[in-house]
Structure formats: C-alpha cells, structure tokens
Amino acid sequence: MKLTILGGGGFRVPLVYGALLGDHAEGRVSRVTLYDTDAGRLTAVARVLAEQAQGVPDAPAVVTTDDLDEALRGADFVFSAIRVGGLEGRAADERVALDQGVLGQETVGAGGIAYGLRTVPVALDLARRIARLAPHAWVINFTNPAGLVTEAMSRHLGDRVIGICDSPVGLGRRIARVLGADPDRAWIDYVGLNHLGWVRALHIDGRDELPRLLADPALLGSFEEGRLFGADWLRSLGAVPNEYLHYYYFNREAVRAYQEAEQTRGAFLRDQQEGFYARMKDPAAPALATWDRTRAEREATYMAENRDAAGAGEREESDLESGGYEQVALALMRAIARDERTGLILDVRNRATLSVLDADAVVEVPCLVDANGAHPVAVDPLPYHAVGLVTAVKAVERAVLEAAESGSRSAAVRAFALHPLVDSVTVARRLVEGYREVHPGLAYLDRP
Ligand code: G6P
Ligand code: MN
C-alpha cells in the first residue's frame, strides 16, 4: 500500500508515521510519500521519521518529493493535510476578526470563513488532480475547516474523499470513561457538522447511559466538557456539545478572553513551530527529541484560554488523550484496506441522514466503514436548536464555496454576514476588506 501525504512537511506528520509504525498486519502501508511545497520543512520532518524508524524492521519506506503528479501516481491512500498560508495565515485569520470584535479562531466564525476562502480553491485543484492521476485512491482530508474542505473536494471526488476529526471520538471516550464504561464498547450518537456536533446518547450494551451522566453533578464536574459548559447548561441542553460549541454558547466570554490573550493560538503555534524548523537547519540537531519537546508544549496549551475563560482549570492528563487524528485515520484506512467493518464518526456526504440538509452536504455523523467506503448510519432527527445552527453554518459554507468558485466578493460578504457569530453586515464587509488586505491568497475575489 502506498500512502501519499500532501503537506508532508507538516508538524503533525510524525504522529501519523508513529501510528503506521505500530501496524504490522497484512495490507498495511509499506510506502509513504511526503509531498510539500516547502523543501526545508520536508527535510526536517523526514529526519524525524528516519529517527522514528530506527530499530523497526518493517518500517514503511519514506520518500519525499515536491512533484505533485509523481506523489499522486499509484497512491492507494492520500492524506490531505495542507495549510494554505501557513500558521502566519492562521494568525492573521484570528487577528483581523478579533480587531472587528468577533471571534478569531481557526475553524469557527469569521476566522474559519477566512481560512476556508483561502483553502477551498487550492483543495478544489488538488481534488481535480487526484481524480485524474489517482482515480482509485481513497482521500482522507485532515485540512481544516474539515467539513467545508471535504465538501469542496467531494465535488470532484464524490464519496472517495472522507474528512476526519478527532474531537468526536475524544469526547465520546471521555464520557464513556466518566461513566465507568469501556470506550471501545460504547456506541456514540454524535451528529452535526465538523466542530458543530452534539453527543445525544451513549449506548452501552443497548442502554443509553447519557441520562445517568446528565443527572449527576459530580460526574458532570469530572471531565473537560462538563467543566467547560457547566452542569446546568448541559442538563438544560440534554446533550454534551463538542468543545467548539463553547464559541457559540459562551461567545462574549470567548471573544473577550481571546482579545485579552497575549497572543492568538495561531501566533503561538507559529512561533513554536518556526523554532522547531529553525533548529532542524542544524544537521547535528536531534530531530525526534526536538520535535517531541515542541509537541509536548503544544498539547499542554491546547484550548487553554477557553478553559480559563470558563474557569474549567487545567486540562487533566487523561483529557489529553483525545484519540488523535492519526488513530482515526489509521482505523479508517484499515477498515477500507482490509474490509473490516468499523464504526467511526466521519465527515461524509449526507445522503439522507439529516433530513434538513441536502444529499451533497458534508456532515459529521457515525458511519460504518468497509472496503466500499464510509456509509452513514441512520440517526434520529436533530432537535430544533441544532437544526438552527447546523443549517445556518451550512448556508455559510455554501456561500464560501460559491465565492471560491466564482470570485464573487458579495458571496464572500454573504458568507460572513450569515454566520451566527457575526452580528452585522457592516462588520462582514469590513472583514472581507480586512482579510483581502492581509491575505494575498484572497486576490481572486476580484468580482463584485
Ligand atoms: C482538535 C481539533 C482539530 C485541531 C486540533 C489542534 O483536535 O479537532 O481540528 O486541528 O485540535 O488545534 P491547534 O489549535 O493545536 O492547532
Ligand atoms: Mn477537528
């Protein structure tokens, strides 16, 4: 099996390779091709991988290339993990929004729209190239905003592109653990869009155990989302939202905390990773140890401002174990390659799963995966409060896709203005102007 990683010089690639190193079974990945537009980053990451492979006799062979066509030819799986505009771009996405008094975050609200507007044209090109050069490859999209980017790619790749996120699995596992259940035996009823979903039930041996959690303030106070949202709100909602819904339910607090923070998340990660790639310019630097140290700092600070704003305190050791993107990707690849039927929460086209959305809308729902791909399972309808957010955000995503395909500025303004976390059309217009000033990648929005 040949796996190609687009964005192969990315900081998280060693996590993926680490997961592959632990897979010794039949049909495993034996060749990894790293493709990146940045040669320096590619070399740095390849050095980490070489150190990881030491002492592992069946370690997958690694090659690097800056030739996209060569990278794609013969690929069985393609991981798309690109970051258009880099972390500098992310920091600008966050800053421009916060300066307008609205949420500046990687995937949610104005920042996510800006990131989507920059990324979708590139993702569409990649999807076209993959459809031509590797028509039988399965494409796993890691790139945020994952639902939107997967939907864009699905226009050329159909159901051969599947988006992933680790947050639903992580949330499900934390809830199962709090309930004293084996996370691997729980069926999690989680539905919505990427970073916009709710756990509505958690079945163990055919019984929904979520009511037991919601009825118990002590249990609710004992895990991350319980503290983040507060027992009262979770009980009132009757579900446990994805942590990203904190940005909706506690928007003022989140915006204020981010405005007062010394640095945005993107700026923090930019500095940290620049440090790593700069140290790797020294050929004598220990690659794996340097990478590992940087990663540990990153994990420890993940969503720290949100927890502070909510008074949720430090993240506990067990909360750090989120399930991990690489584990979700590996499980997905295995299920397809070996035709081992597996249940996973994934970003796929809706078909008829959520009746309030059309068939092509990419949603994040429980799926059964086998050699024929990911098949969403039937779920209960969304409650109205969720219908409101999900359909509003899908309308935003559709406006982003329209703007990306047509270059229409008014479609871009509509995308920002329709978002529930942007409170004025005037602000939406300023956001489009502000983002066009800082992002050369938005020059394509040149039509009225
Ligand atoms: C979670 C989200 C991802 C996000 C990641 C890292 O796992 O599901 O979509 O990329 O956190 O966030 P960070 O702020 O560290 O880049
Ligand atoms: Mn995610």
Q: SS3 breakdown of the chain: % helix, strand, coil, rounded to 5? A: 55, 15, 30
CA distance 101 to 378: 40
- How far away, in angstroms, is 107 Cα from ligand 1 center? 9
Q: What is the pLDDT of residues 325-353, one digit of tens each?
A: 899 999 999 999 999 999 999 999 999 99
ipTM: 0.98
Of the candidates 110, 120, 183, which has an alpha carbon nearest to the alpha carbon of residue 148? 120
In this structure, the residues whose C-beta lies within 6 A of any atom of ligand 1 are 144, 165-167, 265, 269, 298, 302
Nearest alpha-carbon partner for 400 in 444, 354, 350:
444
pLDDT of residue 298: 79
What pLDDT is recorded for position 294?
A: 93
Pocket test for ligand 1, best of 224, 302, 306, 320 (most atoms within 8 A of CB): 302
Q: Report the nearest atom of ligand 1 relative to the CA of 322.
A: 7
Q: How does DSSP classify residue 420? A: T
Ligand 1 mutation pick, 140, 142, 165, 347, max ligand atoms within 8 A of CB: 165
118-139 per-position pLDDT tens digit:
999 999 999 999 999 999 999 9
What confidence tens digit (pLDDT) does each residue in 152-162 have? 999 999 999 99
Global confidence as pTM: 0.96
Q: How far is CA 322 from CA 12, 171, 296, 333, in A?
A: 15, 7, 14, 19
**Among the listed residues 170, 178, 197, 419, the one whose alpha carbon sits nearest the alpha carbon of residue 302:** 170
pLDDT band of 26, cuts 50, 70, 90 = confident
Distance (angstroms) between ligand 1 centre and the Cα of 16 equals 15
Spatial CA neighbour of 63 closest among 113, 29, 107, 99: 29
Provide the mean pLDDT of the chain: 95
Looking at residues 402-411, what average pLDDT do you find? 98
Q: How many residues does the chain have?
A: 448
pLDDT in tens, 197-214: 999 999 999 999 999 999
Alpha carbons 315 and 223: distance in angstroms, whole number: 9
**In this structure, are residues 73 and 134 in contact, taking their beta carbons and an 8 Å threshold?**
yes
Name the band, by pLDDT with cuts 50, 70 and 90, for residue 379. Answer: very high
pLDDT tens for each residue of 348-372:
999 999 999 999 999 999 999 999 9
Indicate the burial class of 387 (C-beta count within 10 angstroms; 0-12, 13-18, 19 or more). Answer: middle
Pick the residue whose CA is nearest to atom 12 on ligand 1.
302
Distance in Å, CA 268 to ligand 1 centroid: 13
Q: What are the CA-CA distances from residue 333 to residues 156, 160, 345, 411 (Å)?
A: 21, 12, 14, 36
The predicted-structure confidence for 221-273, as pLDDT tens digits, reads as follows: 999 999 999 999 999 999 999 999 999 999 999 999 999 999 999 999 999 99
Residue 326 alpha carbon to ligand 2 centre in Å: 12
Residue nearest to atom 3 of ligand 1 (CA): 165
Determine the pLDDT at residue 310: 61
Dump the DSSP string for 355-410: TTS-TTSEEEEEEEEETTEEEEPP-PPPPHHHHHHHHHHHHHHHHHHHHHHH-BHH
Of 431, 437, 415, which Cα lies nearest the Cα of 145?
415
Inform me whether the pLDDT recorded for 305 exceeds 80. Answer: no
- Pocket mutation for ligand 1, best pick of 325, 326, 328 (most atoms within 8 Å of C-beta): 325
- Structural contact between residues 309 and 257, judged by C-beta atoms closer than 8 angstroms: yes
- Nearest bound ligand to the CA of residue 327: 1
